[in-house]
Amino acid sequence: MHLTHQRGPLHDLPDSPEAYDAVLADVVEQALRRITPEGNLEHPDCVDDIGDTSLGITSLLAFAWQRGKDPRLPEAVRRSLAFHLRERVYIEDNPGYPNLRARNTGLPYARYVLEAGAHPIGDWPSTVWALLQAVNVLDSAEGLVDDEQRSQLLELAQGYWRWLTEATFFNPQEAGNQAIGCVVGGLMLARHLPDAEGEPVRARALELYTGEIRAHRVRDRGALLPPEHGGAYDNNYGPISLSFLAQAHRVSGEAMFAEDGDALARYLDARLTGGGFDNGGPRYSEQHSAFESVLGLRYFSARIGSDLGRYRGDSRWARYACKPDGGVDGHFAWMLVWQIQDTTRWHREPSPAPARHQLRAGTVSVAFDDRMTPAVVEAAGTYYLAAAVGRQHGFGPVTDGFLMCRPMGEVRVRDLRADGLTAKLVTKPVVGRDHVLRHVRSLYVTDGETLWTTVAVERLGGTPYLLAGLPYAEDDGDRVRRTAAGTVASAGTLRLTHPRATGAEHFDARAELLQEQAAFALAADPRGYGNPDEGWRHLVSSTALEAGPVPGTPDDLHVFAVRYGSEAPLTVSVERNDGQLTLTTRQFTAVIGPDDDQGEPRLALRAVSR
């Protein structure tokens, strides 16, 4: 069973001018076969997200004509543009639309579903998309459409902008990608207007960004991010927001778009595994965008100097939106135009700078959450999620059913590279059910192929173990496949357990069930509207790796040691003297020293000579 949407890395797609010309040629041939006598270019199976799609393909045809001057295209562009102006412009309020600030304005908007009153909640983003398709056609209109059509289209684009910013509440779905897209539409529209008309539109677009988007950013993992459907980041829409930030910077030159894009890009780089797997977000936990993300990932990979293109997109939407039969759909067509126009090349090497919320070297990576608990561990092509026990989620020591990974105080981090090894030491003060404060010291060391995790904590009662992750998925060529096992060794006992109880609150990795599906089953609202991350937090238990303590440690300590990526026997010796804790494996020796004068942990590391 493969994950549905996570496929090949996006930077593997050819992006030369010749490759893009071939993509446009494919779109042209499909469109010329499809266009109806009335000029409709919509896919026959399109029902929702439809209000901008014919115009989107029109924009691709207009752009293709500007690049190649195919003599078949001017008539198709004019006819399809006439169809949109005649058949897809709505000025009467959609029955049931809840987000109007003024009724019966007569301003134009695009419908998510063409039938009156059918799912009107999607009309705001559909109108953003229609505005962006319109300005893209305007960008390519020179020498292609007559003055009357161009004037009608420009008037329509102005009407879309006014509907979005005057007739309705701005960004009613609290979706950062939609809101930034609207700002981009205003910035691009302003360039087509006389200065006296265009400057107020540009100023309003910048004002909306600073006041309605930037001022409401949400903090996660040390970064301020545009909110996405009420959360800080969504692994489907977050990279799309990055593309909108790239375009906003390209068309406006305003530094704030680059600065905010850099912050989002560094955040995404830290949370993304080396293999490009990611999950989580307030809307879609595992669904991934594809061509819609290329512009932003490529643009900001160059700016921050890291390989953001490792992000696994959905290759079925590799070049443009399409239906199950593979036929082109005009949805989000502007993203293909913009990525062709942008000449930035992919940056393909990882950033050499350490990141607080990431450990990465070679084929090993750990993405840490806001509490510096691993969110995803990657080793030997297998991805481990945080496991669940007694409604508590994470990686860490467990005693009497209590998981010790939630900090009660400042979390300290020390990064180190030495002798071909990369390490991160995380120290947390944690309070157990006995109200005793203990210091959990977690050391992560990798040689780029395997990952050693060693956790030391003051002596625990009962029969403690280390909750060491939920094996969830593994690489399978350019796909990601579900799994319920991993290549793991422990210096103590090691067992892979599965929930004894059944039901949505208990995730058994052996079942043919995606994390996304389980998360939506536990979400409060319907699929597509609920928050799967919030639902997943209701998980009671899961498949889990459980590692027993390392034998022979000092009497007042419990130490756990696990290695991901190899099943070879693991031995760890533990010594403590003069306030130092020395951990020795066959591959390295690590010394965790007493804290320095600022309370920061000390760490020394050297490879063991062979």
Instruction: Tell me the two tokens of residue 500.
Output: 């004894």
* pLDDT of amino acid 467: 98
Rounded Cα–Cα distance for residues 594 and 219 (Å): 31
* pLDDT of amino acid 414: 97
Q: How confident is residue 279, by pLDDT bands cut at 50, 70 and 90? A: very high
* 549-585: burial string, b at 16+ Cβ within 10 Å, e else: bbeebeeebbbbbbbbbbeeebebebeeeeeebebeb
Q: How confident is residue 610, by pLDDT bands cut at 50, 70 and 90? A: low
Distances (CA, A) of 55 to 71, 149, 318, 410: 20, 13, 20, 53
pLDDT tens digits, residue range 375-395?
999 999 999 999 999 999 999
Residue 351 neighbours by CB under 8 Å, 6+ apart: 269, 304, 305, 306
Rounded Cα–Cα distance for residues 454 and 337 (Å): 49
Q: What does R_g of the chain's alpha carbons equal in angstroms?
A: 27
pTM over 0.95: yes
Mean pLDDT of 501-528: 94
pLDDT tens digits, residue range 234-272?
999 999 999 999 999 999 999 999 999 999 999 999 999
498 closest CA partner among 511, 508, 484, 487: 508
Rounded Cα–Cα distance for residues 595 and 439 (Å): 12
Does the CA dihedral 160-341-293-371 come out positive or negative? Answer: negative
pLDDT tens digits, residue range 322-334?
999 999 999 999 9
HSE toward the beta carbon, residue 139, CA cutoff 13 A: 24
Is the pLDDT at 530 greater than 90? The verdict is no
* DSSP 8-state assignment for residue 528: T
* pLDDT of amino acid 528: 82
Cα angle vertex 469, ends 465, 475, to 5°?
A: 150
pLDDT tens digits, residue range 295-311?
999 999 999 999 999 99
* pLDDT of amino acid 529: 85
Does the CA dihedral 312-318-319-321 come out positive or negative? Answer: negative
* 77-98: burial string, b at 16+ Cβ within 10 Å, e else: bbbbbbbbbeebbbeebbeebe
Q: How confident is residue 609, by pLDDT bands cut at 50, 70 and 90? A: confident
pLDDT tens digits, residue range 196-213?
999 999 999 999 999 999
Instruction: Tell me the two tokens of residue 317.
Output: 């939407």
Cα angle vertex 403, ends 398, 408, to 5°?
A: 130
Rounded Cα–Cα distance for residues 139 and 212 (Å): 27
* pLDDT of amino acid 160: 99
Instruction: Tell me the two tokens of residue 520.
Output: 């939506």
Mean pLDDT of 43-55: 97
Longest dimension (CA), the chain: 86
Average pLDDT of the chain?
96
pLDDT tens digits, residue range 62-121?
999 999 999 999 999 999 999 999 999 999 999 999 999 999 999 999 999 999 999 999
Mean pLDDT of 340-346: 97
* pLDDT of amino acid 87: 98
What is the percent of the chain with per-residue pLDDT over 90, rounded to a whole number? Answer: 97
